[in-house]
Amino acid sequence: MSRDTALVSAEWAEKNLDAPGVVFVEVDEDTSAYDSGHIAGAIKLDWKTDLQDPVRRDFVNKTQFEALLSERGISNDDTVILYGGNNNWFAAYAYWYFKLYGHRDVKLLDGGRKKWELDARPLVTDTVTRPATQYVAGEPDTSIRAFRDEVVAAIGTKNLVDVRSPDEYAGRLLAPAHLPQEQAQRGGHIPTAISVPWSKAANEDGTFKSDDELRKIYGEAGLDDSRETIAYCRIGERSSHTWFVLQELLGHDNVKNYDGSWTEYGSLVGVPVALGDEPGEA
Amino acid sequence: MTAPTAASTAAGCAAPDQAAPLPAGLDLERETVITGVVRSVQGEAVAGAYVRLLDSTGEFTAEVVTSPAGQFRFFAAPGAWTLRALSRQGNGDTTVTAGRGINEVTVTVTD
């Protein structure tokens, strides 16, 4: 994968709003932004109600994903362009998800909703409906998804990349600073994880930095790309952003997203936790 | 069965509604709230501005979009922070040394 296949610019998107076989999808945790104005023709996916199982802590299974995409009118041959708020966090999560279920052609809109709004590009409030399809998903590709035992085993052996803010990494904050800090789990990070906040990879308008800048950032942070890499954050959406950068933009082929992330790891009994600004010992 | 209140709080990372009142049960003895309004040089509230909270080293910490009345709110920790606002009317930044409780700040944006 590379920037040319995984990313489209706002200019490209605005010229291809009506292109046949191209489906724009806004992905957010709170879809009130979509309801107040969205890219013309875009449908919405709700990170929580559409993409998470309503009972178990897991994402939707193959059958549920097929039903969702069929009902929203996305077919296997469509080019899916994902975008959203929060610097494309949830759109990147959905991208990872579409890849996990084997969708062939999916791309992120560079800069997401923020760049689109700051550029004063048009948003509409029309209701969008697409004819239902018969979507067929692949078996989940677990080569891009890490589970907790694998993460514990990776301490001191694989690259662990903590993409939360420095204060969350150190244990001084338990959640991103736009949310209240009262949480059940312990603060800190997985021992030996390097700290490379997701935001290092993005410009302030939400677009991704250049490949050269990105290579420099992860190289200087000590990421050894000959080893497997597991990225994590708090709930797995910011680490999807970093997974996207490493695997889809820079072309690493051995990167997993740990979507359990700190809300799972920081609640596990008996696992090691490191505090402070240093990675810590295995 | 108990309601999964803590889990639903922990489940999300999206920026909450910036015009909503402070959550019930919020402990202001413990929380450091940085809140305020983004204004143009003419003093008008700027809705839909992107406000970024940067730590004392300039590192990004969080971002929210202002409410129709230009309001934003962060839950941070005591210390020095920078608020940077991006909007169609221009950008601007302000620094604040926050303590526990509510810290009010205005960010003015200019072309």
User: pLDDT per residue over A218-273, tens digit each?
Assistant: 999 999 989 999 999 999 999 999 999 999 999 999 999 999 999 999 999 999 99
Catalytic: A233?
A: yes
The confidence score (pLDDT) of residue B6 equals 35
Residue A170 contacts B, CB cutoff 8 Å: no
The confidence score (pLDDT) of residue A182 equals 61
Angle at A87 between CA A55 and CA A113, to 5 degrees: 100
- List B residues 22-81 in contact with A (Cβ-Cβ < 8 A): 23, 26-27, 30-31, 48, 50, 52-53, 55, 57, 59-65, 73-77
Token pair recorded at residue B103: 């810290």
Going from the C-alpha of A19 to that of each of A4, A40, A110, A111, A133, the distances in angstroms are 18, 12, 18, 20, 18
| Residue, of A150 and B23, whose pLDDT is higher | A150
Q: Is B12 close to A48, i.e. CB distance below 8 A?
A: yes
Write down the architecture of domain A144-265 according to CATH: 3-Layer(aba) Sandwich (3.40)
pLDDT tens string A73-106: 999 999 999 999 989 999 999 999 999 999 999 9
CATH topology of domain A3-140: Oxidized Rhodanese; domain 1 (3.40.250)
Q: Is B75 close to A30, i.e. CB distance below 8 A?
A: no
Let me know: does B72 contact B35? Beta carbons within 8 Å. yes
pLDDT tens string A1-13: 789 999 999 999 9
pLDDT of residue B10 exceeding 70, the answer is no
Q: Is B15 close to A178, i.e. CB distance below 8 A?
A: yes
Let me know: does A242 contact A193? Beta carbons within 8 Å. no
CATH topology of domain B28-109: Immunoglobulin-like (2.60.40)
The distance of B44 to chain A (nearest Cα, Å) reads 18
Residue A54 contacts B, CB cutoff 8 Å: no
Interface test with A, best of B29, B35, B51, B61 (most A CBs within 10 A): B61
The confidence score (pLDDT) of residue A184 equals 61
Q: Pick the residue from chain B with its C-alpha nearest to A184.
A: B6
In sequence order, which residues have a C-beta less than 8 Å from that of residue A280 and are 6 or more positions away? A189, A191, A192, A274
Name the nearest CA neighbour of A168 among A187, A194, A184.
A187
Residues in chain A: 282
pLDDT tens string B92-111: 999 999 999 999 999 999 98
Token pair recorded at residue B56: 């004392």
Q: Pick the residue from chain B with its C-alpha nearest to A199.
A: B60
Q: Is A235 close to B11, i.e. CB distance below 8 A?
A: yes
Residue A132 contacts B, CB cutoff 8 Å: no
Percent of chain A with pLDDT over 70: 98
Which amino acid belongs to residue A108?
L
Q: Is B75 close to A184, i.e. CB distance below 8 A?
A: no
Please compute the mean of the pLDDT values over residues A50-58 and round it to a whole number.
93
Between CA A77 and CA A72 the distance in angstroms is 14
Average pLDDT, chain B: 85
The 8-class DSSP code of residue A200 comes to G
The distance of B94 to chain A (nearest Cα, Å) reads 16
The confidence score (pLDDT) of residue A240 equals 98
What spatial distance separates the first Cα and last Cα of chain A, rounded to whole Å?
32
The distance of B20 to chain A (nearest Cα, Å) reads 13
Q: Is B73 close to A118, i.e. CB distance below 8 A?
A: no
* Long-range Cβ contacts of A154-159 (<8 Å, 24+ apart): A154/A228, A154/A230, A155/A190, A155/A191, A155/A192, A155/A272, A155/A282, A156/A191, A156/A192, A156/A281, A156/A282, A157/A227, A157/A282, A158/A227, A158/A228, A158/A229, A158/A230, A159/A194, A159/A223, A159/A224, A159/A227, A159/A228, A159/A229, A159/A230
| pLDDT confidence tier of residue A191, bands split at 50, 70 and 90 | very high
Which is catalytic among the residues A233, A235, A255, A274? A233
Average pLDDT, chain A: 94
| pLDDT confidence tier of residue B30, bands split at 50, 70 and 90 | confident
Q: DSSP labels for A120-173? A: T---B------------PPPP-GGGB--HHHHHHTTTTSEEEE-S-HHHHHTS-
Going from the C-alpha of A51 to that of each of A48, A57, B10, B64, the distances in angstroms are 6, 11, 16, 23
Between CA B39 and CA B106 the distance in angstroms is 7
Token pair recorded at residue A128: 């969008």
pLDDT tens string A193-215: 999 999 999 999 999 999 999 99
Between CA A242 and CA A249 the distance in angstroms is 10
| pLDDT confidence tier of residue A56, bands split at 50, 70 and 90 | very high
pLDDT of residue B3 exceeding 60, the answer is no
Please compute the mean of the pLDDT values over residues A40-50 and round it to a whole number.
95
Please compute the mean of the pLDDT values over residues A124-133 and round it to a whole number.
96
Looking at the DSSP assignment, which residues form a beta bridge with residue A28?
A46
The confidence score (pLDDT) of residue A172 equals 85
Q: Is A183 close to B9, i.e. CB distance below 8 A?
A: yes
Would you call B99 exposed, middle or buried from its count of C-beta atoms within 10 A (0-12, 13-18, 19+)? exposed
In sequence order, which residues have a C-beta less than 8 Å from that of residue B30 and are 6 or more positions away? A181, A182, B100
Q: Pick the residue from chain A with its C-alpha nearest to B87.
A: A118
The confidence score (pLDDT) of residue A181 equals 67
Where in chain A do CATH 3.40.250.10 domains reside?
3-140, 144-265
Whole-complex ipTM: 0.82
pLDDT of residue B8 exceeding 60, the answer is no
